[in-house]
Each structure stands twice: as C-alpha cells, then as structure tokens.
Structure 1
Amino acid sequence: MSSVWEAAENKRIVHIRHNADLMCSHLFYDLDSCSRLKMFTQEPSDSVFPLSAEDNKIFINCKAKGSPAPHYKWKFNRKDLDIGMDFNYSLVEGNLLINDPQATKHGGVYQCIATNAFGTILSREAKVEFAYLQNFSSKGRSPVLVREGQAVVLLCGPPPHFGEIRYSWIFNGRPSIVVGDNRRFVSQRTGNLYIAKVETSDVGNYTCVVRNVMTNTTVYSSPTPVVLRRDAVMGEYEPKIEVQFEKMLHVAKGSSVRLECFALGNPVPSISWKRADGSPFPGKMKINHSNGVLEIPYFRPEDSGLYECVAENSKGRSIAKGRLYTIAKWSKYVLDSDLHWECKANGKPQPVYRWLKNGQPLVSQDRIRVDGGGLTISNINLMDSGMYQCLAENDNGVIYASAELKVVASPPDFSIKTVKKTTLIQRGGEAIIECRPHASPRASYSWRRGNEFLKDSKRYGSADRSLMKGSFLPFISLKTFFILAEPTKITVPPLSMDATVGESIVLPCEVSKDSTLHPIFKWFFNGKLIDFTRHDHFGMIGGGSSGDLMIRNVQLKHSGKYVCMVHTAVDSVSAAADLIVRGPPGAPVDVLVGDVTDRTAQLSWGPGPDNHSPVTLYIVQARTPFSIGWQAVKTVPDSVPGQMIHATAVNLNPWVDYEFRAVAINNVGVGEASMPSEPVRTKAADPEVAPANVSGGGGSRGELVIVWEPVPEELQNGEKFGYVVAFRPLGTTTWKQSVLASADASRYIYKNDTFPPLTQFEVKVGVYNEIGEGPFSPVVIVYSADEEPSVAPPRVWARTLSASEIEVFWKPVHQSGSKGQITGYEVHKHHKWREGKKEALTSHCITSIRFLNVCTVLMAGCAISCSPTRVCDPPATFFTISSAE
C-alpha cells in the first residue's frame, strides 16, 4: 500500500509523506524527516500451542523500525503485562518468551507496544490459545430404539476441547471401526454418526472416538446401544438432507474448504454435487467415495459461487444449496484535508474503527472529534504531537495504520542529533551522513568538502530538506571526517544440506574483511538467536575471519533454517542455509483391529512422522500370553508398502488373545513401534494339532499303559479341550476309545487281565474341543505289561581284587526256565548289620560286575528281574566275602 498525503492550513503546512504502512506527518512550520518510529516489521499472530510441546516454550514475535531504537512493552488481555513480576515471562529483543505455559494462566490476547522519543505504536492483537481434549463423562448412554429401514442419528457430544478434532465411531468394541459409505456417515463438524437406513446388522453398541490432532490424545465415549424394534418395518420415504453446509460461507483466499452433505431415506439416497451455473468442477476438487464430502483446496476467487448437493432415491429428491464467497484482502487508505484524517477499510463484515494517540484511546473532546474512521483536530498546538493509529477490526481480525504528527517551532539545534565527528565507511559503498538538526520552520542545508561547496551529482546527493529556502532563524554548522574500510564479504557461506540423526556436521561461515575491523559472528536457528551457553548440541568453532557452526549428535529437532550473520563497525552481511535432518520414522498411531476370524485379523493404523525420509515398509508384530515378547506376523500383503496403512494378519492361532502393533521403516532405519492395540481374541476352531510322542509300556500284569505329550494351550483352538485314546490288539479291526476331558491329561491305563503279557496293541491319541474333533496321532505299537521272572541265577560267587575292590559273578538263567522275559539283572550289596540296597542294573548278557570302595567284610547277592522296579522271588543265595588287606 502506498499513497501521498497533502494538507494545508493557512498555507503553513508544507509537506506530508506516507509510505507503506507508515504515515509520516510533520505539521506547523516544519516537516522533519520520515517518522522516527516506523512500522512493525514483525507482529504477533494468532497461534495455537499444544501444552505437551517438547521445549515447553512459546515465542511471540515483535519488532519495529525506529530511530532511536524503540523499547517494548506488552499487554495481556488489554492490561499492561508486568514481566518482572512473573518468572514465566521474559523479553528477548522485544519478543515475548513464555516459559512453562499454562492454558488457564497464559491463554488470552497479547499486544506488543513499541515506544521511543517520538511516540508509541501498537501491534495487532494476537490470540494465544492452547490445544486440549478432556475426557467424556462416564455416565452411561440410553439405548436407541429403531425399526428396520428407519434412519437414526447417534449424537457424539464431544467433551470440552480446543484445536483440530477428528471423529470416528467404534461398533461393538475397539476392534470394529464404522467405515463411512453411502449408508453411514460420520460428520467431522459435529462428530455425529448418521445411518440413512437401519439394517439388522446395525444392532449393537456404538462408541464415539475423539482425537485431538495437535496433542495426539484420544478419548472414548460410553457406548450407545442400538436396539431393533420388532413391532414393524419402516416403509419407504423420500430423502431428507440431515447434514448440510452453510447457506452463505466466506472463505479466505488460499484456504481449504470442506463441505458436508448427507441424507436419510429409504431406499438409501445417492448424493451428487454440482455448481448452480453448470460449470464443471476443476481437477483439484475432491469428492469422497460416499459423495458425502466435497473438498476444495487452495480456494480461489473463481471457486466462488452457488453449490448444490442433490440427494435422491426412488421416492424423490432433496437439494441443499450454499454460496461461497471470497474474503477480499483488507484495503486501507488515509486522506488528509484541513487536518481531517479519514481511515477506511473494506471487509466482511463491515469493520468498526478506533483511534489511538501514543497507544491511548482517543475520544471526542474540545478540539478533537472522532467520528468512526474520521479524526479531526482543530487549532493544532504542540500538545498534539505524537504517534496516531487507526484500528479497523471485524470478526476476521484487526489492522492498523500509523502516523506521526509533529508540531515544532525552533532554530536549528544539533544537541539532540549531533553529526558524528568521524564516519567509518566501506570502500565502494554508499556513505550517508545524517544531518538532522531540530529546526522549525525547516532549515535549509548546504554541504562543503574543505572550502568547496558540494552540489548534487552522480557521487553526491542531499536529501530534499533543501527544498525550503530563506530560513530566517540562526545559522549553525558542524564538521565530520570519513575513514574508508574495505567491505565485508562472506567468502565461504553455509550450504543447505541433509544430515542423518546422530551425525555431527559443520555449517561453514568465513568472511573477508578490512584489517581494521573485527567481525562478530552470530547464528540464528529458525529466526532465534542461538545461545551457545544453553545448547549442548551447538558450538561455534574457528576464530578471526571464520565462525563455523558445529552441530553435534544432530537430532530431528535441528531441522530448519540457519542464518550466519556477521557484524562489523561499518556493515553487516548474512547467509542462510537449510538443514534437513533425516531419521527413522516415528511410531505409527491408532492401531485398530477390525474383523477377526479364527486365523486372521484386519488391522489399520495412522502414519507417524516420516522424519524427512518416506516410509518404505511397515512390519506388523503380535504378542500373545504364550509368546516371548513381540514377534513378526505374516500379513496380506506379505510386504506392506509405506503408502499402505492397513493389512490383514494371517496364520494366527484360534482362540488366542493377541495384541498388535506396527513398525515403520525408511531408508534411514527402523522406527519406534506403535502403542499396542487393544487385546482381541481370535475365534475358536477345530483343533489341528495331535499329541506328540505317543508311547507306553510297563505297568503291572494285565495293564496297557499309554503316554503322550499334552498339546500346548495356544494350539488347543478352543475351550473344553480333551483327548480321545484309541487302541486295539494288533491284527484286529475294532478300536476301543476312551475320552479324557482334561487338557492336562498325558497318561491313560487300560486294565484287562485276559490278554497275555507283552501283547502288542495299535495305539493312537486324538483331540477335540467345543467346536469339533481334531486329528489323531500316527498309530504306534505299545506292549502290555510283562510277567515277573520266576527264578534266580543258580550260582553266585565273587573274588577280591584289592583292598577296596571286589568282582561278583553269577551264572545266567535260561529263558526257558523263567515265566517272564529276562531283560537284565539287579545286583544288591549288603553291609553287615545293615539293610541291603540295589547297587546296579545290568543287561541280560552281562554276568559280572565290579564294586569299588567296599568295606572289609560284606555280603552280596544277585537277583534277576524283567522290570527295573520288580525283584524276583526267590532271590539268589547270599554269601560273605572280605576285600584284601
């Protein structure tokens, strides 16, 4: 914006200049240079902050041009802010820093005030708000009774919140998400769930899920039961548009618009969109799969107009209309005639106006008249000097126009702004020697170099102050000297680069300079001066003509713009570079489990931050009560690409509790795992695993002993798990079966005294649960119990080998002379006056054994046995033997 002001009162006002947002007015005999307190170069803006921000600080910008440099104050909720009395606040070069902010204490309207000797200006007001999301009430929700074919609207009623909110609904518990289609719709404006036509499958419990995008917190409502009434079925009826957009909507240029439209009806209505003028939709517009949402990104004036949503079925149609307007940018201008200033601004709704002088409200009184955007000052005097601001505001915000009114009358005076005795300038550059005496009416100026008067030329030029001739007040002069210095140049600037988390990098900054100058290096990160005493990661290295920035162990938070600024006594130079830090992706969010079968589970999740390296792959992991930690599970697709945020877990075990999580991978590495999903149990199925290691044998006469390894719990596939033991004598066709209704059973004994010892049986063990029967194990041969041996060895003797060693011998028993199968011998030794004990077992082909560390006198005996647990009757004859002394 630029305009020229002209004013005259009795021909004594000679010049008024207005440039950009600055009105510079010097009235009554003199027009000095343009305002010494200029426009704001940085102003606070409306902001929303999450309280969980990593650095837990808020930085509100404010900077104004002025000479002398202005000092700053702040207002909070339109009251002066005493920064010294609150440790949370501090000033950083005029900017306001809030440490450890609290929503209730620090949320509100902030305004920056800049003041110097020439007046005060106020910045725009900025609203600072904090994102939050409270919990739903724990109070239960009443059932909703509906008929089949009827429409229903389930109210979400979100809890108190602030910041962008996303809504979704869960059906019958966490695993099942309500997916929008042409029959069901979740409004992102109200959070309500709309079902155009109820079906029997809709009966169940519905839970509203609210997520705050900025704080990434999620809360769940109490379930709303939907109960089907059986008394009647709803007939067909024409569409009724239940969700519709505003009839008039003002949209800022460049913003995005989301229009919702959904209708209830039977049959289910179809939704279509069109523009009333018939013009086609540009390619940028998006209509979702259910046609319930029209999205217009990057809104432009040509997108303005009347939009129609049409819902129709076989019973009729319904239309919703709304007009979109472009919000024009503010336009402002000021006219001055006979000391009447008028401030006008365009906007919707129509703005209202306020006037300030030196930051204080102006009201009509005496010579001052305030009438909306007009300000009239009659008979101006010295007391009217100051900074004036016009404020125009409506629901969309506040804009400011500033002007300085200076009323002076004095001879030339350098006491306030003297001319420097020496001026250090760079060779080849421009030199501006300020000559600003305080004078009214305006002084005439002339310059000399030595005895030579200077005239305007290509090398020399004076400001337009000399336009006024014939000063009638005293004459004054001052002298100054030039000292030349070479300009400062950045010869090695920082370059934009990529880095990986954990690396250490150096951003160079090297200058060439005049030998008489001492450069001062400063680094800025995202507009903030780096304090090297407070940051372990940052360090400045070099010296003299270099001030390189080292970033140690670079982290994701270090991505941004870095500026190297070099100051000398005569000039300042700067160079900027962008640093992109790439790291493993962040954890995915909101892992949800959809439909679950006995072997599969449908999973979905939200993408986490990619940390400047696109996600290339997702891995799905699962955990059960029987697994050791998290294990990767097989999915469909087998490899989940980075752009896909859903998959189906397969090859799961039936009737097992599972938790799932997702892990993202990019070219940098493997990211953090998401939070686990809510536990879900797969459905039951027939058992599929038979018992392992089926065997048997032994026992008492007439017994058939069968043993096996129990099936682990995670493979039982359902409740009421048990075993079916089947057996039959070898060569027969009929199986005998016995059911063991215990999942822990591992042994079965069948007793029948009629079958002879060591009868061969075919044996198999099967499984079952409440769903059905499973497989049998492979058939194995198991022997029934054998008969006990009936004779002992006919002869036993021994010999001494040493003082502590003897060897015992016996004559083997012929198999024909014993009833039981002879498989080996038991050898017992007896200390005198003590009970005997079994010393060793041997196979049937061994007929001697040695004893070490025996007593001097002992008795030994020998017995035969078919079973390690049975001793023959009668035993062998005992004898006495002494070891050698």
Structure 2
Amino acid sequence: DNLVVPCEATGTGTISYVWQHNGKNIQYDARIKLSGGNLTFTGIIPADAGKYTCLASNLYGTSISREATLQVLAAPVFTEKPYTQTTLFRGQTSTIRCTVTGGPRPVMTYTRNGGFVDTLLYNKYTVLLNGNLIIHNVDDNDAGTYMCTARNRYGSSNVSGIAIVVSATVFSKPLVKTSVRRPQNFSISCAVTKAVNYNVALYWQRNNVNITTSRATITTSGLTTTLTYVNTTLTDTGTFSCVAATFVPFVGYVPQSSSALLTVNDAPDPPFSFTYSQLISSAVVLSWLPGSPNNSPLLRFTILYRVNSVDAWRIAQDYIPVSTTFRRVTLSPFNTYRFKVVAVNAVGTSKDSAH
C-alpha cells in the first residue's frame, strides 16, 4: 500500500521538517518523500515498520512530535534462506539461517528430516527474533534436511536446506598465560588440527586487533604458527590470540581463537619524594611515594641506611607493607645518617630512591 503520514506545525517564519525512523534521520528517495511536512510512502515494505517522529524547526527552535508506531502487515517473506549445505561444527554453536520478515511477526516452526524440532528443549536451541535457529553443543543427530516455516494471519512460507556435521578445527597447542621482562624478546606458538578437508588460515591478534607492528614476526608452517616480538615494552601487555579461520563452503571463513594474557613487566620504578620529618636525637620519620610497579604488583618496601658515609648500607626496616609510605626509624645521637628506600615486586628490586 501507499501511505501519507501528516505533520503540520505553526510558528513564525519558515518552518522546515525532518522525519526520523527509529531515532535516525530518514534519507529520502524515490519511494519515501517529504511533501511539505508530510511523509509519503509509495509501496510500503516490511522494513518500514518502526517508530516515527516529526521534527519541525524555525529560527527560534525545534519542536518534536509525539512518537508514532507503524506496523506493516504482510505475509512472511524469507530474506535469508538456509545455505544449500550448512556446516555445523561438532561440539560448537551453529546457526540455521532462516531470516524472515512479516507483520505481525511470524511464528516459526522447524523440522529436521520431516520430524518436528522441539525448540523449547532446554539448552539445545535458541530461536532468534529474525527467525534464525541457533543449535548449541552440536552433535551428529543435528545433521539432516531442515525446513523453516513462518506463519502469520496473512499467510505462510517455508524454506529448506541440508546441514552436515563435521569436527571443528581444534587447537592442539593452545596459548597459555605467560610473562616476560622488558626489553627481552618473546616467542609464542600455537597449532591446530582439522578433521575435514577445509582450508585454514592462521593469524595473530592483540586485544582483538590484527598485529602489524614492525617489532613482530610471524612464521607459519602447515598448521603451526609462531609469533615473535623483539624489544618488548610495558605497553605490549595484552591478550594475544591465535586465530584459526576455517573456510566453510557457502559461508566463508569461520574464525576460532585461542587466547591468553601476555604480560610484559619489570622491576618497579624507585620510590620518589623521599624525605624526613619529626627529627629528634633518637628518631626520625621517613616518608616516600611509590613508583610505578611496572605490571607486577609491589610486594614490600625496604629502608636502608649507613652511618657517617663510610659504613656499608644496612637494612633499617624490611618487609614494609605496600600500603605504608612512612616509617619511624630509631637513631643514635652524634652520628650522621643517610637513608634510601627501595621497592620490591616479583620481578626484582627497584633502583635506589634519592638519598
């Protein structure tokens, strides 16, 4: 059908109109036009359904109409049909594509090899609003010829396709959590096996972005790939993923990944703002601020001292909790003291603070 949705506003001067569909400005074309303030449709389609708002503006501001809902009544139409052969991966989650439109929203039913598919079966199936059927934990019983049927008060339609079950590409050597001290180099590897004669492409990502840095080298031999980084920095820390993309007929490349956190760390930076206060003949209060832990949590602080600038450095207090940034230290009168503080983490000990 054709449709005219009216919108008229009063005000001073020239009034311009803008229509929005589901919160976005409408792009007018040969089918959808703006005539004055009215929105006109030539040939309503299911995609026109949704919420509409009219905005009227002049030099003094903008007024927004109440929201109107358009429901398009139509028999079901499949916009995406099952592939001639859908590949389901054993043990994985896969999709039978039966994307449908219609108004009211069609009721979906599914059969496999002529038998009804119980979509209410707990944890096995999920029916999406667009009509697609999600199959969880695929097993050999899920293979067969599927038919998707959509019905509403204006009609019904069905489509069908064949689904086969194959073993998924699996990681025979997955990634594991690891750490490296800067600026050391590191290499990580992963390997996959495949049970079907599908091509597999291997590549690497860091934080879900393909790795392109010039400090990285990727070598691949068969179904094994190795990533090498040189001159690592703290900012190289991230979740690294080895991605195996299996080419599935009629679908394209289907990615799977093995991921693990790789941490580049170092000994902590030295404490700073090291100073003293409350000096008396028998004690002094020392205080400081912690430096960066460099991707490895601080474990403790240690205060060292020497007397009269000739003795070796000795420990004044050790195993100071990291929540503490000051300490009272006992003194002996008539001596000259020098103090310093260091921080310790699992990687090592920081350089000295200022004395």
Q: 1:529 aligns with which of 209, 214, 233?
A: 209
Deviation at 1:455, TM superposition (A): 2.6
Cα–Cα, structure 1 residues 478 and 602, in superposed 2: closer, same or farther, change >3 Å? closer
Distance (whole Å) between structure 2 residues aligned to residue 557 and residue 430 of structure 1? 35
Match of 1:754 in 2: none
In structure 2, the partner of 1:603 is 286
Written as runs of structure 1 = structure 2, the 5 A alignment for 1:26-425 is 357-359=22-24, 385-386=49-50, 407-410=71-74, 413=77, 416-417=79-80, 419-425=82-88
Distance in 2 separating the partners of 1:383 and 1:573: 33
The residue aligned with 2:316 is 638
Q: Partner of 1:488 in structure 2?
A: 169
Matched residue, 2:122: none
Distance apart, 1:456 and its partner CA: 1.4
Q: Which TM-score applies when normalising by structure 2?
A: 0.55
- 3-state DSSP of counterpart to 1:494: coil
Work out the CA distance in 2 between the residues paired with 1:456 and 1:479.
Answer: 14
Q: SS at the partner of 1:593?
A: strand
| 2:226 partner SS | strand
Per the alignment, do residues 446 and 530 of structure 1 end up closer, same or farther by CA in structure 2, a change over 3 Å counting? closer
CA drift of 1:484 comes to 6.0
The residue correspondences of 1:769-780 to structure 2 (distance < 5 A) are: none
1:520 aligns with 2:198: no
Task: Provide the rounded CA distance (Å) in 2 between the counterparts of 1:578 and 1:383.
Answer: 43
**Candidates 462, 471, 476, aligned match of 2:155:** 471
Alignment partners' CA distance in 1, 2:184 and 2:334:
44
Q: Report if the CA contact (8 A) 1:619-1:632 is conserved.
A: no
SS in structure 1 of the partner of residue 172 of structure 2? strand
Q: Distance in 1 between matches of 2:95 and 2:153?
A: 23
Tell me the CA shift for residue 493 of structure 1.
0.9
Q: Give me the TM-score of the superposition, normalised by structure 1.
A: 0.25
State the shift of 1:562 in Å: 3.3
Identity %: 20
- Counterpart among 273, 277, 280 of residue 594 in structure 1: 277
CA separation of 1:417/1:408 partners in 2, compared to 1, >3 Å: closer, same or farther? farther
Q: Which of 97, 102, 125 is 1:434 aligned to?
A: 97
Mapped partners of 1:551, 1:495: distance in 2:
16
Distance 1:442 1:638 in 2: 77
Q: CA distance change for structure 1 residues 649 and 669 in 2, over 3 Å: closer, same or farther? A: farther
Corresponding residue to 1:504 among 185, 191, 197: 185
Once residues 666 and 446 of structure 1 are traced to their aligned partners in structure 2, the CA distance between those partners, rounded to angstroms, is 60
Q: Which amino acid aligns with 1:455?
A: G
Residue 490 of structure 1, CA deviation: 1.3
RCO comparison, higher one (Cα < 8 Å, 6+):
2
The match for 1:585 is 268
Tell me how far 1:503 sits from its aligned partner: 3.6
Q: Radius of gyration: which is bigger?
A: 1
Mapped partners of 2:305, 2:233: distance in 1:
27
Please give the alpha-carbon distance, in whole angstroms, between the structure 2 residues aligned to 1:469 and 1:607: 71
Provide Cα deviations, 1:467-496, integer angstroms capped at 9, x if missing partner: 547828xx7x76755566531111111112
What's 1:108 paired with?
none
8 Å CA contact 1:519–1:544 kept in 2: the answer is no
Letter in 1 for 2:22: K
Q: CA RMSD in A?
A: 4.9
Kept in 2, the 8 Å contact 1:616–1:667? The answer is: no
* CA distances 1:138-164 after superposition (whole Å, capped 9, x unpaired): xxxxxxxxxxxxxxxxxxxxxxxxxxx
User: Is the aligned partner of 1:549 residue 2:227?
Assistant: yes
Residues 604 and 516 of structure 1: is their aligned pair in 2 closer, same or farther, counting only changes over 3 Å? same
Give a deviation string over 1:707-748, Cα, whole Å, max 9, x none.
xxxxxxxxxxxxxxxxxxxxxxxxxxxxxxxxxxxxxxxxxx
What corresponds to 1:618 in structure 2? 302
User: For 1:558 and 1:468, how far apart are their aligned partners in 2?
Assistant: 55
In the superposition, relative to structure 1, how do residues 464 and 480 fare at CA in structure 2: closer, same or farther (>3 Å)? Answer: closer
Q: Distance in 2 between matches of 1:530 and 1:582?
A: 22
Aligned to 1:671, what secondary structure does the other structure show? coil
| Rounded Cα–Cα distance in structure 2 between residues aligned with 1:478 and 1:382 | 19
Q: Aligned in 2, Cα 1:652/1:512: closer, same or farther, shift over 3 Å?
A: farther
Which runs of no fewer than 5 residues in structure 2 stay unpaired?
1-19, 26-44, 53-68, 118-140, 249-253
Structure 1 stretches lacking a partner, 5+ long: 1-119, 121-355, 361-380, 389-404, 678-885
